[in-house]
């Protein structure tokens, strides 16, 4: 079993955080307070902390001819769970930073990926591998 990670991120409104993380992404709500909410983020602990002002927006780094927001966070899903989430987000008219597609096609580390932001500008990436053994592939991509 992989030990769960803990990540705390800023948000400016906990009601909007509940709608995004709880309703749209389907994360189970855990402990909460007037300033934060714990989430079961696909088996990991994500905490949304309410702040008055969000930090600077992300920068972008070129990967596979796409502008990837940095920082970002997310989860590696099974391919079927990734596709189900992509369909759910598309149905909800989510604005993607990078729409769902297959990255590094035919190369080491080939993966399905998508990027989008939460209502506060935090960037998320969800990915999946047809061959999970490629998760930590060491071959150089380019």
Q: Are residues 41 and 65 in the same domain?
A: no
Note whether 102 and 110 are within 8 A (CB). Answer: yes
* Domain count along the chain: 2
Q: Are residues 80 and 102 in the same domain?
A: yes
Six token digits for residue 74: 């997310």
Dihedrals phi, psi of 86, to nearest 5 degrees? -60, -45
| Structural domain boundaries, residue 105 | 61-134
What's the pLDDT score for residue 42?
Answer: 96
Six token digits for residue 45: 């602990």
**CATH code, 23:** 3.30.720.120
What's the pLDDT score for residue 2?
Answer: 84
Is the bond preceding residue 71 a cis peptide, omega within 30 degrees? yes
One digit per residue, the tens of pLDDT, for the chain of length 142 reads 789 999 999 999 999 999 999 999 999 999 999 999 999 999 999 999 999 999 998 999 999 899 999 999 999 999 999 999 999 999 999 999 999 999 988 888 899 999 999 999 999 999 999 889 888 877 665 5
Note whether 38 and 22 are within 8 A (CB). Answer: no
Q: Is 92 helix (H, G, I), strand (E, B) or coil?
A: coil
* Residue 21 CB neighbours (<10 A): 24
Dihedrals phi, psi of 5, to nearest 5 degrees? -90, 165
- Is residue 142 one of the residues assigned to a domain? no
**CATH code, 113:** 3.10.180.10
Helix ranges (H only) for 6-52 are 14-17
> Kindly report the CA angle at 74 between 35 and 66, in degrees rounded to 5?
125
Six token digits for residue 111: 């993966």
Q: What is the CA radius of gyration of the chain?
A: 16
């Amino acid at each position: 079993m992989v030990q769960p990670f803990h990540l705390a991120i800023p948000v400016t409104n906990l009601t909007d955080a509940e709608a995004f993380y709880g309703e749209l992404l389907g994360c189970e709500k855990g402990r909460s307070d007037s300033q934060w909410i714990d989430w079961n983020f696909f088996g990991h602990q994500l905490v949304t902390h309410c702040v008055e002002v969000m930090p600077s927006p992300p920068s972008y780094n070129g990967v596979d001819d796409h502008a990837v927001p940095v920082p970002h966070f997310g989860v590696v899903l099974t391919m079927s769970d990734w596709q189900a989430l992509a369909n759910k987000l598309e149905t909800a008219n989510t604005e993607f930073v990078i729409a769902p597609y297959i990255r590094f096609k035919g190369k080491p580390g080939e993966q399905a990926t998508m990027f989008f932001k939460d209502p506060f500008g935090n960037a998320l990436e969800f990915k999946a591998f047809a061959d999970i053994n490629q998760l930590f592939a060491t071959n150089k991509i380019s």
